[in-house]
Chain A
Amino acid sequence: MTVIDEGIPCQVFVELVTEYLDGALPTDDVARIEAHLALCPGCASVVEQLRETVRLARQIREDDVSRMDPGVRADLMAAFRETARHRAPPD
């Protein structure tokens, strides 16, 4: 059921996935990991699951709508305008 190759036990591999996905591992390690992934469906699943986790997390943002209060927005715009007015050289 389990495949170990290229000297990376699955238990070690699962702690390296984020570094692997970030491209933060040395080339040698990437080659060993890819060799392992080609043969180990369990670790390949974990990589896919973590990719999916990131994709789903991204949707939280897309589902979010701005709930900025229109009054607050108006106040901030007024403060911005006011500051700009003071900054402008006297004419």
Chain B
Amino acid sequence: MGGFDDTFANDESLVAALRGGDERAFEWLLGTYDTTLRRVARNYVPTDALADDVVQDTWMGLIRGIDGFEQRSSLKTWLYRILLNIARTKGVREKRTVPFSSAPDALLDGDQPTFDPERFRSATPTEQYPGGWVSFPLAWETQPEHVLESDETVGIVHAAIEQLPPAQREVVTLRDVEGWTSSEVCNALELTETNQRVLLHRARARVRRALELYFEGAMAT
């Protein structure tokens, strides 16, 4: 089992196996990336059924394109780019907002702070700690473990991610849900490190806030 995974986790042997018609390699790929692709596709199209179409077309794109794949990026990045092209085309056709439009500044939604300014002390002549906390945020370690580990808590995170602006949702999906590295996300989305991190920070801050409200509500009842 370990040997199987190790072989295909290496891009060079995976690509060679796919070109050689090794069905185990293709099965491994389906098992490894299908759920990820489906989740990401869903960011671009309005229904699960359309996301299924996007993913199926992506796999067909891989089958047809593997011989011409020049390996200048990782297979994962290349696969993701195929998906992105197909999803964007379909997303436009379905009139769904496309995350990475031609207006990159708009996706950073200005220079808004991610934490409510009301939570910090104002700079007045008498204020000893301008920019310091008015009151400290609650430590979540005080939450009972069953609350932190509950499906409901994970559900809050899931719902908060789904409500994010599209570009933030896409970055946080890849970085945090899927566990991609910063450079993988930058390559796949053709984002600068800085913009990627701004989007990620905004996304995480909003999800953190949703959790904070949820925990505060749980404590009040």
Asked if B207 is an interface residue, CB under 8 A from chain A, the answer is yes
Whether B140 contacts A45 by the Cβ 8 Å rule is yes
CB distance from B150 to the nearest CB of A (A): 10
Let me know if B60 and A3 touch, CB within 8 A: no
Quick check: A58 and B21 within 8 Å, CB to CB? no
**How distant is A65 from chain B, measured CB to nearest CB, in Å?**
8
Residue of A2, A52, A60 near B133 (CB, 8 A) is A2
* A3 & B38 in contact (Cβ 8 Å cutoff): no
Asked if residues A2 and B193 are in contact (CB atoms below 8 Å), the reply is: no
Task: Give the number of chain A interface residues (Cβ < 8 Å).
Answer: 53
Is there contact, CB below 8 Å, between B177 and A45? Answer: no
How many interface residues does chain B have, given as a range? 35 or more
Chain A residues with Cβ below 8 Å from B158 are 60
Is B19 a contact of A87 with CB atoms below 8 Å? yes
Interface membership of B117, Cβ < 8 A: yes
Residue of B nearest to A41 (CB): B136
User: Which B residues, 151 to 189, have Cβ-Cβ distances below 8 Å to chain A?
Assistant: 151, 153-154, 157-158, 161, 172, 176-179, 182
Residue of B nearest to A19 (CB): B197
Shortest B120–chain A CB gap in Å is: 4
Q: Does A50 contact B (CB under 8 A)?
A: yes
Q: For residue A24, which residues in chain B have a CB less than 8 angstroms away from its CB?
A: 182, 193, 197
Given contacts A60-B157, A66-B35, contact A83 B197 (CB under 8 A): no
Residue B88, interface by CB 8 Å: no
B-side contacts of A85, CB under 8 Å: 21
Chain A 37-81, CB within 8 Å of chain B: the 1/0 string?
Answer: 000111101101110111011111101111111001101110111
Q: Are A11 and B177 in contact (CB under 8 A)?
A: no
Cβ B26 vs Cβ A77 within 8 A: yes
In the complex with contacts A53-B204, A56-B157, A76-B63, A81-B23 CB distance below 8 A: yes
A52 contact set on B, CB distance < 8 A: 140, 148, 211
Task: Give the interface of B toward A (CB within 8 A).
Answer: 19-21, 23, 26-27, 30-31, 34-36, 38-39, 52, 55-56, 59-60, 63-64, 67, 113-115, 117, 120-121, 129-141, 148, 151, 153-154, 157-158, 161, 172, 176-179, 182, 193, 197, 200-201, 204-205, 207-208, 211-212
Please give me the 7 A-B residue pairs with the lowest Cβ-Cβ distance, nearest first.
A9-B131, A84-B21, A2-B132, A42-B136, A18-B201, A57-B176, A11-B131
